[in-house]
Chain A
């Protein structure tokens, strides 16, 4: 059986390396477009992930190789007796200090990205100056409040604010910031494609910025188990060119101040114009 165990321990590192290498092609990797993040910050965050993956892979393969070598040698050579070792000061130092250095390196190396992602002082100025909307997570939907066209977002709701639900439009080509709130319990604002995740806490208003590197529709999901309807909490973030975005805001304004007269195709029931079908 000795050689069987050799094979067993040899199998796992190979399986791990092969499956990680194949992951992008068989859909086991990150979501969206060949596992490529849809934002520049996301690409940097992915870089961190891959760095950690490579380091752990090297360590894993190395330790497994050592195990296999030891087992193989023991299984092949019955004459050789094992040494009984009572600790080794040098070894202890080596395998404490090297991982320590690696951890320290990771901690320092990621600081820039973390600051760009999380520390308001380092947010893009354009985004901070003019938050685009207030996002309120509630059981179990996302509600959005935009400022009126040409105005700035205020802390308190204003009469001319624009409201929508489960559909956030943002302009393409500049970083945008949203103010994140929660109405009830903890939720989490998660844009998997952009690698953005931030918990929403009741009573706090948390600024989150993101910038997609191409226009499109991205999923916004909740990443905090917030109750029975957690799985329902899905919305779309629609990144579109500036002019389309302005058009959307105009339509939203028209819809929201609709007083039942005149025709707005998008808001009113088809039946209003074609009701008398008979």
Chain B
């Protein structure tokens, strides 16, 4: 549910973070609508038709509704906002829902008193649809909250993606942008060749977009959590707290908690707002045309000359392709033998070779395999070169190379699997 980092905060600091997340995102069993996210929550309107009389000792109140017959049929756990009648503006949680009879049960409370004719909104219907599909098809690898540690994940290499950093490798966008929805949809439909991500082509378009909608929502949740953690971590992680309250630190527990309380009252709400806002904005911007990597010139004809120019570029100091991918493109460059420093912790990695931001060892691609994870169209390879591969040491060459040079490289790289010296 919550990240490792959240759980490393002292309990007093972790509590508000968890509370804020639950308030804004709910949990996978009780989704919550949070205005301002670029997520399609999918509200539907309904009207109360009849109310079942219920005894005073009954905790639930049941009523039959109209207007939900075309909607998704599993609405359990979703928030229901009353838009007219006594409970206007109040929320209930749907405890039971029977699609066949149109019967909804919610908890009784002082504020609400459903009467025939009252209208309401059921929120997050689309998100719930995506969640159910995600749980069926994706959860066993990618985990309940998209942390990439589902029960199947321990058997997989490369490991399933952790969605919570909001970083996806195979996109059509610039190196600083998030993934487009269409990119993730393509990944779901086509699968990722050479990994355990299978193709889900037999799902309908609607199902795929609902899954992607949910996955992006999980990403936003994870990124928000990370931003809040980063804000608190330097002062209030368990480790820092122990240091501060030790002999050398010289602070008392009360002093630290007082400072934390002050921070929570004054700065935390803004931090929270800023965190979700910036994340949402980034996701929205990714779907705009400006974020796309679009070549200025069409593909340079795939001739021997072009490939040769590409090969010279490949081996040049300008690109240093060979330092990772090896002089012959076998994925065995010298960089794979070095010990690298983890930029996040400034410590050396335990293993030789390159690593990605998720901390996994990452061999550079063997370019002779003819397996293209992000798609095998020339434009896909072009985008890998121009925008790099996010979250990995593969850099973006869009700035330093001209379009023609990039296309030459594409032609060279795409000819490697067929060069006969397999």
Contacts A259-B295, A260-B382 given; indicate if A139 touches B182 (C-beta within 8 A).
no
Q: Which A residue sits closest to B140, measured CB to CB?
A: A228
Give min CB distance, A108 to chain B, whole Å: 42
Instruction: List the count of A-B residue pairs having beta carbons below 8 Å apart.
Output: 92
Q: Which A residue sits closest to B383, measured CB to CB?
A: A260
Q: Which A residue sits closest to B293, measured CB to CB?
A: A260
Report the Cα distance A233→B200, complex, angstroms: 9
Give min CB distance, B159 to chain A, whole Å: 15
Report the Cα distance A112→B377, complex, angstroms: 45
- Tell me if B298 and A259 are in contact (CB < 8 A): yes
Give 1 or 0 for each of A252-278: 1 = CB within 8 Å of chain B CB.
000111111100000111111001100
Q: Which A residue sits closest to B155, measured CB to CB?
A: A228
- Tell me if B191 and A271 are in contact (CB < 8 A): no
Partner of B152, one of A228, A261, A268, A272: A228
Q: Which A residue sits closest to B152, measured CB to CB?
A: A228
- Tell me if A143 and B198 are in contact (CB < 8 A): no
> Which of A15-23, A115-123, A156-164 is near enough to bind chain B?
A156-164
- Tell me if A257 and B378 are in contact (CB < 8 A): yes
Contacts A143-B193, A276-B288 given; indicate if A269 touches B379 (C-beta within 8 A).
no
Task: Determine whether A102 belongs to the interface, using a CB cutoff of 8 Å to chain B.
Answer: no
Give min CB distance, B337 to chain A, whole Å: 28
Contacts A158-B418, A159-B418, A165-B191 given; indicate if A261 touches B298 (C-beta within 8 A).
yes
Task: Determine whether A224 belongs to the interface, using a CB cutoff of 8 Å to chain B.
Answer: no
Report the Cα distance A222→B324, complex, angstroms: 38
- Tell me if A229 and B198 are in contact (CB < 8 A): yes
Task: Determine whether B238 belongs to the interface, using a CB cutoff of 8 Å to chain A.
Answer: no
Task: Determine whether A232 belongs to the interface, using a CB cutoff of 8 Å to chain B.
Answer: yes
- Tell me if A167 and B181 are in contact (CB < 8 A): no
Q: Which residues of B contact A275 (CB under 8 A)?
A: 287-290, 292
- Tell me if B201 and A232 are in contact (CB < 8 A): no
Partner of A157, one of B140, B172, B191, B370: B370
Give min CB distance, A12 to chain B, whole Å: 38
Q: Which residues of A contact B373 (CB under 8 A)?
A: none
Partner of A166, one of B172, B201, B370: B201
Report the Cα distance A163→B377, complex, angstroms: 10
Task: Determine whether B92 belongs to the interface, using a CB cutoff of 8 Å to chain A.
Answer: no
- Tell me if A271 and B198 are in contact (CB < 8 A): no
Q: Which of B177-217 contact A (CB under 8 A)?
A: 180-183, 190-191, 193, 196, 198-199, 201-202
- Tell me if A159 and B202 are in contact (CB < 8 A): no
- Tell me if B199 and A141 are in contact (CB < 8 A): yes
Q: Which residues of A contact B198 (CB under 8 A)?
A: 139-141, 229, 232-233
Give min CB distance, A80 to chain B, whole Å: 62
Task: Determine whether B135 belongs to the interface, using a CB cutoff of 8 Å to chain A.
Answer: no
Q: Which residues of A contact B152 (CB under 8 A)?
A: 228-229
Report the Cα distance A168→B186, complex, angstroms: 18
Residue of B172, B198, B288, B292 ringed by the most chain A CB atoms within 10 A: B198
- Tell me if B377 and A256 are in contact (CB < 8 A): yes
Give 1 or 0 for each of A167-183: 1 = CB within 8 Å of chain B CB.
10000000000000000
Give min CB distance, A256 to chain B, whole Å: 6
Q: Which residues of A contact B140 (CB under 8 A)?
A: 228
- Tell me if B182 and A258 are in contact (CB < 8 A): no
Partner of A269, one of B183, B201, B377: B183
Task: Determine whether B299 belongs to the interface, using a CB cutoff of 8 Å to chain A.
Answer: yes
Task: Determine whether A197 belongs to the interface, using a CB cutoff of 8 Å to chain B.
Answer: no
Residue of A159, A163, A259, A267 ringed by the most chain B CB atoms within 10 A: A259
Give 1 or 0 for each of B378-403: 1 = CB within 8 Å of chain A CB.
11001100000000000000000000
Q: Which of A221-250 contact B (CB under 8 A)?
A: 228-229, 232-236
Report the Cα distance A235→B203, complex, angstroms: 11
Partner of A271, one of B196, B289, B294, B422: B289
Give 1 or 0 for each of B399-422: 1 = CB within 8 Å of chain A CB.
000000001000000110110001
Q: Which A residue sits closest to B418, measured CB to CB?
A: A159
Q: Which B residue sits closest to A158, measured CB to CB?
A: B418
- Tell me if B181 and A271 are in contact (CB < 8 A): yes
13 of the cross-chain contacts (CB-CB < 8 Å) are A141-B191, A143-B193, A159-B418, A228-B155, A235-B202, A256-B376, A257-B378, A258-B378, A258-B379, A260-B294, A269-B180, A275-B287, A275-B289
- B residues apposed to A, CB below 8 Å: 137, 140, 152, 155, 172, 180-183, 190-191, 193, 196, 198-199, 201-202, 287-290, 292-295, 298-299, 370, 376-379, 382-383, 407, 414-415, 417-418, 422
Top 5 nearest A-B pairs (CB, nearest first) are A269-B182, A275-B289, A260-B379, A259-B299, A166-B201
18 more CB-based (< 8 A) A-B contacts, given A157-B370, A259-B299, A271-B287: A139-B198, A141-B199, A156-B418, A157-B417, A165-B193, A166-B201, A228-B155, A229-B198, A234-B202, A235-B202, A257-B377, A259-B377, A269-B180, A271-B180, A271-B181, A272-B289, A275-B292, A276-B289
